[in-house]
Chains A and B, each alone.
Chain A
Amino acid sequence: MELQTLTYIVVGMTFALYLGIAFWARAGSTKEFYVAGGGVHPVLNGMATGADWMSAASFIGMAGLIAFYGYGGSVFLMGWTGGYVLLALLLAPYLRKFGKFTVPEFIGDRFYSKTARIVAVICLIVASVTYVIGQMKGIGVAFSRFLEVQYEVGLLVGMTIVFFYSVMGGMKGITYTQIAQYVVLIFAYTIPAVFISLNLTGNPIPQLGLGSTLIGSETFLLDRLDQIVTELGWAEYSTQTRLSTTNMVAYTLSLMIGTAGLPHVIIRFFTVPKVKDARTSAGWALVFIAILYTTAPAVAAMARLNLINTMQPPAAEENLAYDERPDWFKNWETTGLLKFEDKNGDGRIQYEADATKNELVKVDRDIMVLANPEIAKLPNWVIALVAAGGLAAALSTAAGLLLAIASAISHDLLKGVLKPDITEKQELRASRIAMAGAIMFAGYLGFNPPDFAAGTVALAFGLAASSIFPALMMGIFSKKMNREGAIAGMIAGLSVTLFYVFQHKGIMFIASTSFLGDLPNNWFLGIEPNAFGAIGALVNFGVALIVYRMYGEAPKEVQDMVEHIRIPAGAGQASDH
């Protein structure tokens, strides 16, 4: 069957499944809307968290970036998994014990201050909206390829679908849909990887294939890759550092603590029955995430090898002729994300590091995973499955994030502070309006994303790392931390990170307004903006400690509350009161 038809069928079937589940499990009450009624089994919750977590950045973006960063791409692998250790050990059990709906609610109660709650809402919205922009980039890429249209048109179609999909379900619908989406996305990711690993190394397990020799040769895959990329003038794949060791440490740390500070992941742990379940649920979530994350480096290295081998067939004397380019090449040219320019006029494709000779003038990193099965000449049904998987990843995360944004606005800002007498029905309506607003705003900025999907998402993590994580941690581990310290810390952490990001990436990420330019020689300690959350978090902790000393310690009843959340006994279900 023709690829286009097959893709429509597979994507159509998966969408029908999600909508069916969303309808079957639609939310009836605010409690079901925000925390799925608090009764989801830890393994299932882990799976849903996996889908929620693994976004377009993980599925579509990450392997593509690793393919070009090589070893430097490890920051994403370690950063986006290591955060779960922090989450399971430092936050999840206590926040579950606390038993409320949202992260700002915890911060407001722990720091006995409505101001703290409002500041937390602002931090949450800034981080989550940035994250949604990254998703929009991924959604735009996936839809533009799938519908064979320009990136911008693909983005508009994607925005419309996300809108209908997330506004309907609420947490209960989202949780069950995400379980289905996890299954779709993990098959879609691993099946092509198994095929490609078999083709290249004869080993069906990609994690082992990456460490194996190439078929019909004594050379290891990674050694061969190192050799050809260096011959073409790029840095050695298995040792190329992302800028510097300091930058890699900061980048990894920023992603780790950002993971533990992102509200849409944290609220996941409010949906399990017991405190004990919050700990194991984090473990299960990481198991399901690790399946994709340990496959990704294999996908990356093999994609890079296959791409270069397609342009420069190893046995042939000459490079691929442009007129004989494969179909996938033409399809990606339609989207505008892949561009060829015949600089030396020989009608063949030169692909190398030297910018004056390289003729693949644009290879958007975000197309690698989607194009990979086609480059490897896998059967059409596998390619269709990958399209469905990419869309599942993008939709599930966008839905989770939008829910976090919506609950912050309707539950924390409106019901918690501005209009406490609002009815349940009005609260639900307000949260749906907030979702719609967030989609439009993020979609608009998605037309000119600040970075590739994974890079944009990394910025979001930096913002969460510098604002929310330190406040939560101090709230649990320091009984005496007062409201003044926490508020000053959050404001300082968020501002310093935003300021750094804006001065290099442009105000609201619009590049033309960047006043220092995105230039490495202007970077503080050589740390790129995407990695600055780690520094922001340090500033947050530092400022909080200094300000804490200027005011008295937290009141006795707050200290008792902290004592209380430290022990699992007497948790009860997540509730509104």
Chain B
Amino acid sequence: MSKNNAYWSANVSLMIKLLVVWFAVSFGCGILLVDVLNNIQIGGYKLGFWFAQQGAIYTFVVLIFIYAKKMAALDIEHGVDE
């Protein structure tokens, strides 16, 4: 079972890292820090507004694919793939 425990803790630590980013782009940049970021302008977008209505969504997509790719590698590394 120790082999599986190593796999599980690698999985959990990857998960936590990605969830930190998930939180930062949405609740962080999109809501809590929105007023500060709105002082920065990118084209016609205020930055905080951009995160809330565009940027967070793009980041979410990237996060899932990173997770899928890294997990596929972890599965093989720990010999638990199908």
Chain A positions near chain B (C-beta within 8 angstroms): 66, 71, 73-74, 77-78, 81-82, 84-86, 88-90, 93, 207-208, 210-213, 220-223, 238-239, 245, 248-249, 252-253, 274-276, 279-280, 282-283, 286-287, 290, 293-294, 297, 563, 566-571
Contacts and interface: CB of A to CB of B under 8 A. Distances in A.
A567 B54 contact: no
B68 A245 contact: no
A73 B54 CA distance: 12
14 contacts: A74-B52, A77-B52, A78-B30, A85-B63, A88-B64, A211-B45, A222-B45, A276-B81, A283-B64, A290-B57, A297-B53, A563-B4, A567-B7, A569-B81
B68 A279 contact: yes
Given A211-B50, A222-B44, A82 B8 contact: no
Interface in B35-69: 35, 38, 42-46, 49-50, 52-54, 56-58, 60-61, 63-65, 67-68
A279 B68 CA distance: 5
B52 A82 contact: no
A238 B46 contact: yes
Nearest to A253: B27
B77 interface: no
A82 B80 CA distance: 28
Q: List the 3 closest A-B pairs by CB distance, nearest first.
A: A220-B44, A74-B52, A283-B64
Interface of B: 1, 4, 7-8, 11, 15, 18-19, 22, 26-27, 30-32, 34-35, 38, 42-46, 49-50, 52-54, 56-58, 60-61, 63-65, 67-68, 71-72, 75, 79-82
B52 A71 contact: yes
Contacts of B53: 66, 71, 73-74, 77, 294, 297
Contact of A81 (B11, B42, B56): B56
B31 A245 contact: yes
B5 to A, nearest CB: 9
B30 to A, nearest CB: 6
B45 A283 contact: no
Given A78-B56, A220-B43, 8 more contacts: A78-B26, A88-B67, A212-B43, A238-B38, A252-B26, A276-B75, A294-B53, A570-B82
B82 A568 contact: yes
B41 to A, nearest CB: 9
Contacts of B68: 88, 276, 279-280, 282-283
B18 A85 contact: yes
Nearest to A226: B46
B22 to A, nearest CB: 5
Contact of A252 (B1, B27, B35, B80): B27
A82 B54 CA distance: 12
A122 to B, nearest CB: 30
A21 B66 CA distance: 34
A253 B43 CA distance: 29
A551 B59 CA distance: 42
Given A89-B18, A90-B15, A563-B4, A290 B64 contact: no
B32 A249 contact: yes
Contacts of B27: 249, 252-253
Contacts of B60: 81-82, 84-85, 286, 290
B1 A563 contact: yes
